[in-house]
C-alpha cells in the first residue's frame, strides 16, 4: 500500500476503503486500539474561550476613542502648548531648519514654490530632530538625578548601619 493523497483523490479513497476492510485505520493502527485512544479534537476544551479580554487592537481603539472624546479646543491654545516640555526647542529648531533649507534652495534654484516646499520639509525635519535632541537631554538629566538619589540613599543606609554597629559594639562592652 503506498502513500495516499490527503485531498481526497480516488486513489486515497480506495486506500481508506481497503484499510477499513483490513480492520486498520490509515495510520496502521487497528480500529479497536484507535477507539480506545482519546484524541485532542474529541475532548472538550479546558478553557472557556468566550469570556476573554478584548485584544490589544480593541483596547487601543477604545483608548483612542476616549482620547478623541476628551479633546477640547482649549488643549490647542498656545499657552497650553508651550507648557509641553521641549515644545519650544523643537519649534525653534524647526524654524531655523525651514529658514536654512528654504533660503538655500531659493538661492540655488530661484524658484519660490520649490523653496517654500523645502522650507516646510525643513521645518518638520528640524522640529523632529529638535524634539528628539531635547528629550534625549532631559532623559540624561533625569537619569543623573535618579542616580544621585540612589547614591544618597545608599550613603544614608550605610551611615545608619554603621551607627547600629557602633551601638551594638558599645552594648557588648
Q: 111: domain range? A: 87-135
User: What is the domain count for the chain?
Assistant: 1
Q: Does residue 114 sit within a domain?
A: yes
Residue 98 pLDDT grade (very low, low, confident, very high; cuts 50, 70, 90): very high
Confidence of residue 15 (pLDDT cuts 50, 70, 90): low
Q: Residue 22's pLDDT is what? A: 55
Q: Is 119 exposed, middle or buried (CB count within 10 Å of its CB: 0-12, 13-18, 19+)?
A: buried
Amino acid at each position: 500500500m503506498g502513500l495516499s493523497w490527503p485531498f481526497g483523490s480516488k486513489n486515497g479513497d480506495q486506500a481508506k476503503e481497503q484499510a477499513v476492510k483490513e480492520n486498520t485505520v490509515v495510520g496502521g493502527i487497528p480500529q479497536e486500539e484507535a477507539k480506545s485512544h482519546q484524541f485532542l479534537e474529541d475532548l472538550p476544551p479546558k478553557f472557556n474561550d468566550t469570556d476573554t479580554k478584548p485584544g490589544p487592537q480593541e483596547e487601543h481603539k477604545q483608548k483612542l476613542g476616549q482620547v478623541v472624546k476628551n479633546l477640547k479646543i482649549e488643549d490647542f491654545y498656545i499657552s497650553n502648548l508651550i507648557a509641553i516640555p521641549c515644545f519650544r526647542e523643537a519649534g525653534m529648531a524647526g524654524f531655523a531648519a525651514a529658514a536654512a533649507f528654504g533660503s538655500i534652495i531659493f538661492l540655488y534654484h530661484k524658484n519660490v514654490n520649490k523653496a517654500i516646499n523645502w522650507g516646510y520639509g525643513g521645518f518638520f525635519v528640524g522640529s523632529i530632530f529638535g524634539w528628539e535632541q531635547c528629550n534625549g537631554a532631559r532623559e540624561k538629566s533625569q537619569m543623573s538625578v535618579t542616580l544621585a538619589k540612589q547614591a544618597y540613599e545608599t550613603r544614608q543606609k550605610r551611615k545608619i548601619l554603621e551607627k547600629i554597629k557602633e551601638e551594638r559594639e558599645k552594648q557588648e562592652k
